[in-house]
């Protein structure tokens, strides 16, 4: 009777363990190895969670899949189990986030103490028992390296897939695997190739503690440990990874890399392509400040700012024969409006960046609310020039100023702010490079570069403030100023019409028309109150005539040759571009938007050249266009991959330039022709 009860006890309580929820430990003085299962039965799933459990003695380590300058990764062979009887189709080994070790001057990558490699065993037949048999070759190192060989065996019976005693250990191993960027809270904002270095700009949701980065590339290419430069916020860092070895006949641009970003217990695995360095110039910060200053000055001449030229002209003429002190106050106030507005833009850009949102130059023009705000502001500025009302300063400022001229100062400050807002769709020479450095840098760099932009754009006003006689030597204002003010007000009204046209591309044309009629009604109401019916009717006719002329003019910004049905642009998509390149075609890419007047100027004065029209639409070139009028993540990604944060953006892709040849913001026929030749691989004469 005792033997029967003992046998029953062993059958009930020990028999399940006989199916080996974990294999026996195989041990020596350096390492112990076993195979574990996360379930007690295979259940009805097509795969079973297993794990390779490795305990290393003190001072010993083993290696990651890319071991660094020395070592070998684990080698598993399950071929003897890949048959119907064993029911193993394949097994996938997962690698937990590794650590970097230095021994005898060599950088190696791997694990110490204890590591569990998750194994996903894929079954030939779901519900059938698994009998996994294989071999493991493992290199373990201390003061010397010793290869180890182990025979592995594990059986998981058919039956319910209840969690096994090792389920928690295996769950921890799964958690240690690198995740995608969002799940890990780690991301790569930007990467570029700089000679023999790869430079990464990384960002973390929480402060970085000890970031490290492991780069895996094509066969024969190896990378060293990164040089880490943390920003003051602790959430961003620049990591410079040196290229240690590279085959002489291999170019790194265009190569696919696997990047594992590790910080403490969190890790992310990302797959990226090495971009060309042409589109992402990296310059010293001091030089970026110089470029920002020059770009700000040039912004005064760009078509985006030209609509407020009327306000600038009026500012100078108004002070003809006046007092120097008032000229200085007026122009300093306008300069302050410009600089203040650029600092506000810097704050917005920095805030978006800290929130992990992609920021860009001029992207606010993609938002209907912003366009409506500008249209209202321009409408009231035009009405102010027509003498319908004055813009006073806030009371708390008015009480502290000379009442003889403080209303003018309010208008001067607003003029500077308006000029800044209208400048943002334009990407002037030097500006694109400076903005790229700013938006790729830290918060302090963003504010520094935007401040330099504001000072650059304000320089003409600061010059007049420094030398008031530039304005006071002009003739004194008279009645002729009333006619001039009304004429210049039409320029601002025309700008509002243009923005209304842009708005129609983002909402419906019917809604845009209703909003335009509302603005017209407001102007008529203000005109009726100030001047009576007669002058309001005359003004209405002028506005309507200007609207008709304005719409016709903006419609004509695209030359007839390029609007012809025979000369159609191919809509951009990453897949379309990749397909064209795979076919060996040359592609000219134009990223444009309805709100980008510089883009329209390029189209009107450069891309309409008969030679280029013939080259783009009649020869072996694909003319591809991306419309960024409305937000488009794919186009944003395209721009950022070339280190750009605004438009115009033009590039030529071809067999000799797979990463693209990026052109300047303002195009010339010669530059476009030479870029196409270079992309096709033609030699320059």
CATH 2.60.40.10 fits 181-274, yes or no: yes
- Alpha carbon 261 to chain centroid distance? 19
| Pairwise CA distance, residues 492 & 377, whole Å | 10
Q: How far apart are CA 388 and CA 432, in angstroms?
A: 40
Question: For all residues of the chain together, what is the average pLDDT?
Answer: 76
pLDDT in tens, 134-165: 999 999 998 888 999 999 999 999 989 899 99
Enclosing H/E stretch for 33 = strand 31-37
Q: How confident is the model at residue 222 (pLDDT cuts 50, 70, 90)?
A: confident
* Confidence grade of residue 316 (pLDDT, cut at 50, 70, 90): low
Q: How far apart are CA 664 and CA 606, in angstroms?
A: 13
Q: For residue 1, what pLDDT is reported?
A: 45
Structure tokens at 510: 């019917």
Q: 214: pLDDT confidence band, cut at 50, 70 and 90?
A: very high
Give me the pLDDT at residue 116, please: 96
State the alpha helices, DSSP H only, in 557-649.
560-563, 574-582, 597-605, 610-618, 633-641
Q: Note the pLDDT of residue 554.
A: 43
Q: How far apart are CA 220 and CA 181, in angstroms?
A: 27
Torsions phi, psi of 273, nearest 5? -115, 135
Q: Which fold has domain 14-175?
A: Immunoglobulin-like (2.60.40)
Tokens of 455: 């000072």
Strand partners, 50: 37, 119
Phi-psi region of 264 (alpha: psi -120 to 50; beta: other; left: phi over 0): left
Burial class (CB in 10 A: 0-12, 13-18, 19+), 428: buried
pLDDT at 685 over 60: no
Higher pLDDT, residue 4 or 521: 521
DSSP state letters, 123-160: ESSTTS-EEEEEEEEEEEESSSEEEEEEEEEEEE-SS-
How distant is the alpha carbon of residue 187 from its chain centre? 11
Summarised one tens digit per residue, pLDDT across range 285-298 is 788 888 888 888 88
Annotated domain spans of the chain: 14-175, 181-274, 285-555, 560-680
Is residue 457 within 8 Å of 667, Cβ to Cβ?
Answer: no
Q: What tens digit of pLDDT does each residue of 427-446 get? A: 666 777 777 777 766 788 88
Instruction: Work out the number of other CB atoms within 10 angstroms of the CB of residue 304.
Output: 24
Does pLDDT of 337 surpass 80? yes
Element (H, E) at 261: strand 256-263
Angle between helices 443-466 and 324-354 (to 10 degrees): 170
* Cross-strand pairs, 562: none
Structure token pair of residue 409: 């100062």
* Predicted local confidence at residue 358, as pLDDT: 57
Query: Which residue, among 282, 127, 271, 134, has the nearest Cα to 194 in the 3D structure?
Result: 282
Question: 3-class SS at 597?
Answer: helix
**Cα 473 off chain centre by:** 49
The tokens for 583 are 């076919």
The upper half-sphere exposure of residue 603, i.e. CA atoms within 13 Å in the direction of its Cβ, equals: 26
**87 touches 128 (CB < 8 A):** yes
- One fold for both 181-274 and 560-680? no
Q: Quickly list DSSP for 454-467.
A: HHHHHHHHHHHHH-
Give the CA dihedral 158, 162, 166, 171, nearest 10 degrees: 120
For residues 472 and 464, is the Cβ–Cβ distance under 8 A?
A: no
Strand order through the sheet with 211-216: 211-216, 256-263, 266-273
Measured CA to CA, the distance from residue 392 to residue 415 in angstroms comes to 13
- Supply angle C-alpha 544, 545, 546, rounded to 5: 90
| pLDDT surpassing 50 at residue 548 | no
pLDDT digits (tens, 9 = 90+) for 13-41: 444 444 447 888 999 899 999 999 999 99
- Assigned token pair, 125: 């037949």
Cis, bond preceding 511 (omega within 30 deg of 0): no
Rounded Cα distance between 290 and 430, Å, is 9
Q: Of the ranges 276-280, 372-376, 523-527, which one carries the lowest mean pLDDT score?
A: 276-280
Q: Pairing relation of β-strands 145-156 and 130-141?
A: antiparallel
Model pLDDT, residue 347: 85
Confidence at residue 36, expressed as pLDDT on a 0 to 100 scale? 94
- Please give the distance of CA 501 from its chain centroid, rounded to a whole number: 28
Of the candidate ranges 58-72, 201-215, 560-574, the one whose mean pLDDT is the lowest: 560-574
- Note the CATH number of domain 560-680: 3.40.30.10
With 50 as the cut, is the pLDDT of residue 71 above it? yes
Residue 128 near residue 12, CB atoms below 8 Å: no
> Nearest to residue 253, comparing CAs of 590, 601, 658, 532?
658
d(C-alpha 237, C-alpha 231), whole Å:
6
Phi, psi of 130 (to 5 degrees): -110, 130
Q: Got the DSSP string for 200-222?
A: EEEEESS--SSEEEEEE-STT-E
Rg, C-alpha atoms of the chain: 34
* Of 484-493, 584-593, 607-616, the least confident: 484-493
Cα–Cα distance, 598 to 425 (Å, whole number)? 8
**Collapsed DSSP state (helix, strand, coil) of residue 490:** helix
Q: Tabulate helix, strand, coil % of the chain (nearest 5).
A: 45, 25, 30
Q: How far is residue 530's CA from residue 532's CA, in Å, rounded to a whole number?
A: 6
pTM as predicted:
0.49
**Using an 8 Å Cβ cutoff, are 75 and 163 in contact?**
no
Q: What DSSP element (H or E) covers 627? A: strand 621-627
Backbone CA torsion sign across 550, 552, 554, 559? negative
For tokens 């842009």, the residue is: 502
Q: How confident is the model at residue 457 (pLDDT cuts 50, 70, 90)?
A: confident
CA distances from 481 to 175, 299, 475, 584 (A): 74, 27, 11, 62
């Amino acid at each position: 009777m005792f033997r029967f009860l003992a046998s029953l006890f062993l059958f009930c309580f020990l028999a399940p363990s006989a199916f080996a929820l974990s294999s026996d430990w195989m041990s020596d003085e350096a390492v112990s190895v076993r195979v574990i299962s996360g379930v007690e039965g295979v259940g009805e799933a097509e795969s079973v969670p297993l794990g390779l459990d490795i305990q290393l003695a003190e001072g010993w380590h083993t290696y990651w899949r890319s071991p660094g300058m020395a070592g070998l990764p684990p080698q598993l062979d399950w071929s003897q189990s890949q048959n119907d009887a064993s029911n193993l189709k394949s097994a996938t080994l997962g690698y937990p986030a590794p650590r970097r070790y230095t021994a005898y001057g060599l950088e190696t990558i791997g694990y110490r103490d204890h590591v569990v490699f998750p194994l996903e065993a894929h079954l030939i037949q779901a519900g059938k028992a698994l009998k996994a048999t294989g071999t493991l070759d493992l290199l373990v190192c201390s003061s010397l390296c010793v290869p180890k060989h182990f025979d592995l065996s594990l059986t998981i019976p058919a039956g319910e897939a209840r969690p096994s005693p090792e389920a928690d250990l295996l769950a921890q191993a799964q958690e240690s695997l690198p995740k995608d960027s969002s799940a890990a809270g780690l991301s790569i904002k930007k990467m570029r190739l700089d000679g023999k270095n790869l430079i990464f700009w990384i960002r973390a949701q929480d402060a970085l503690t000890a970031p490290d980065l492991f780069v895996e590339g094509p066969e024969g290419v190896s990378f060293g440990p990164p040089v880490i430069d943390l920003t003051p916020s602790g959430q961003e860092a620049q990591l410079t990874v040196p290229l240690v070895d590279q085959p002489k006949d291999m170019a790194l641009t265009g190569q696919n890399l696997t990047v594992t970003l590790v910080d403490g217990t969190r890790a992310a695995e990302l797959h990226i392509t090495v971009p060309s360095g042409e589109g992402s110039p990296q310059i010293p910060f001091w030089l970026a400040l110089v470029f920002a200053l020059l770009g700000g000055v040039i912004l005064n001449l760009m078509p985006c700012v030209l609509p407020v030229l009327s306000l600038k002209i009026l500012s100078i003429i108004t002070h003809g024969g006046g007092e120097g002190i008032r000229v200085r106050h007026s122009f300093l106030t306008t300069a302050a409006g410009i600089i203040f507005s650029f600092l506000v833009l810097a704050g917005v850009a920095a805030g978006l960046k800290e929130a992990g949102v992609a920021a860009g130059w001029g992207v606010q023009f993609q938002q209907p609310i912003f366009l409506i705000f500008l249209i209202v502001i321009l409408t009231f500025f035009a009405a102010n020039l027509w003498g319908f009302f004055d813009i006073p300063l806030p009371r708390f400022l008015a009480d502290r100023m000379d009442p003889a001229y403080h209303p003018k100062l309010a208008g001067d400050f607003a003029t500077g702010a308006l000029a800044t807002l209208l400048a943002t769709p334009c990407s002037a020479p030097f500006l694109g490079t400076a903005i790229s450095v700013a938006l790729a840098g830290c918060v302090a760099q963003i504010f520094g570069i935007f401040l330099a932009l504001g000072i650059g754009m304000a320089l003409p006003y600061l010059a007049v403030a420094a030398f008031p006689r530039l304005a006071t030597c002009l003739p004194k204002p008279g009645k002729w100023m009333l006619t001039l003010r009304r004429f210049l007000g039409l320029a601002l009204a025309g700008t509002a019409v243009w923005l209304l046209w842009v708005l129609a591309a983002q909402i419906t044309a019917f809604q845009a028309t209703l909003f335009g009629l509302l603005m017209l009604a407001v102007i008529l109401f203000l005109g009726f109150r100030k001047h009576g019916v007669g002058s309001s009717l005359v003004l209405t006719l002028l506005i309507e005539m200007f609207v008709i002329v304005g719409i016709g003019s903006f419609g004509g910004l695209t030359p007839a040759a390029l609007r012809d049905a025979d000369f159609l642009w191919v809509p951009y998509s990453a897949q379309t571009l990749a397909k064209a390149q795979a076919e060996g075609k040359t592609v000219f890419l134009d990223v444009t938007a309805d709100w980008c007047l510089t883009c329209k100027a390029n189209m009107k004065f450069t891309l309409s050249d008969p030679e280029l029209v013939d080259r783009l639409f009649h020869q072996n070139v694909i003319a591809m266009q991306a419309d960024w009028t409305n937000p488009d993540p794919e186009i944003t990604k395209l721009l950022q991959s070339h280190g750009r944060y605004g438009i115009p953006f033009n590039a030529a892709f071809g067999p000799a330039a797979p990463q693209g040849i990026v052109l300047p913001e303002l195009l010339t026929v010669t530059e476009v022709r030479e870029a196409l030749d270079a992309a096709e691989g033609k030699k320059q004469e």
